[in-house]
Structure 1
């Protein structure tokens, strides 16, 4: 994990116009999500003992993060969703001040709309406990020129059993797709056919989608009228948006409705043009 907090804290103290001018420099990408704590095998050794042996902090989006780092001059910070949940308002502002691009993947909206202080009993009853709404701050960051991107997963968009919650959030009107109000996971062990609908677009230049390995699932979403779907995925007679784009103010929003890493993307990350694809998605 990379933590440039001291650098970020210095940035956030600058006047706001300096912060947005900084967004024209080399890419600074803040990636959140796709981390997990993996416990080892569990051994039931007696009626009273059942230890787990081994523990690992795992970033299962490491191939995606490595691809981001192939962008010329890029700085990449990758953090678990629980660190986003714990960020103070000042630290969240510092991240926004530093980043030119923000990527969320498998991040449910509770990590953005809640904060541990709301559950700290020592804080109860002394004074009103409120924070600036982080969805509003994120929307303003995009409007001023930022690039927000979301990758798919069980906790992205609508998510498993609606747990992602993005369609009910204050940020839902910024996304290029409309999230379903219920479980939106579409999965198959056989994989899905994809097609490029705008090969002339700079993000698609030189990519041979016919050679892309099969994706094992995606989040079903509806494309907004003012958005563009560059890549589509086929399921049961219908084509669905897979890579969607939309301008928002001076910024832009993009969404990849499948995984960039296991498990939906376990084959996709082996594509010979995997790094090139992500470089082109995140090239300003």
Structure 2
């Protein structure tokens, strides 16, 4: 199995003030390192595309996407795909990257969106996937604005539907937040958190889709989740579900 995993990277620019004087520093981080290592250990081949590389590396032709069994989008907003350099700076007409993903799923590919500050609608609505072509592809109906639910006290999801993805999983670790959305009528809700959908499965055209409401890593994903015995199995099962027949 081969997947394309996109997102989960960021640059932090800091100002250090020490009395009269100050200086700046910058650091680059990736949030999915542990998840990707777990997938590779399970025999899944992963092409990882950090958020800032979408500008220069995301395929321009549908044929380039067809080599993948599934695409995973995690904590990366729609603007990164829609406002690429040739269009933003040179006013060039280029293929809609999200349109290519829609076509890929319609033709039999799998799509998983994982929650985060820039997933679904995201912080201040900046992820903004509701107003893109992926709104019709994903198995959920998104809110019109900021969809984050912050839970500093923690909340434990509950499995509500038996499925090969949730097999033997009854007790979930706590999460510190998630993206709030509703499942589409034809979708399946496997897990809920605070009465909201947590894992949702669906389909689009010939392909399969899934939504995971919370984070694959800190901060919403707790240390307890990262160390959970089903951490690797739940992701492997989700991706196997999405795999093309």
Q: TM-score, normalised by structure 1?
A: 0.78
Q: Structure 2 matches for 1:45-124, cutoff 5 A? A: 46-47=20-21, 50-53=22-25, 55-72=26-43, 74-87=44-57, 90=60, 93=62, 95-120=64-89, 123=90
Distance 1:142 1:277 in 2: 21
CA deviation vs aligned residue, 1:247-275 (integer Å, no higher than 9, x gap): 21221010101001010002311212111
Native 8 Å contact 1:177 1:221 kept in 2: yes
Native 8 Å contact 1:68 1:275 kept in 2: yes
| Corresponding residue number in structure 2 for 1:265 | 221
Distance 1:94 1:38 in 2: 35
Work out the number of aligned pairs and report it: 240
Rg: which structure is higher?
1
| Corresponding residue number in structure 1 for 2:233 | 276
Distance 2:156 2:57 in 1: 40
Q: Structure 2 matches for 1:34-53, cutoff 5 A? A: 34-38=8-12, 42-44=16-18, 46-47=20-21, 50-53=22-25
Could you tell me which of 166, 178, 183 is aligned with 1:223?
183
Q: CA deviation at 1:39?
A: 5.1
| Corresponding residue number in structure 1 for 2:102 | 139
Which structure has the highest strand share of the two?
2
CA deviation vs aligned residue, 1:185-223 (integer Å, no higher than 9, x gap): 001111113111112x1111232x31x220000101011
Q: TM-score, normalised by structure 2?
A: 0.90
Q: CA deviation at 1:117?
A: 1.4
| Corresponding residue number in structure 2 for 1:29 | 3
Change (3 A) 1:213 1:119: same
Unaligned runs of 5+ in 2: none
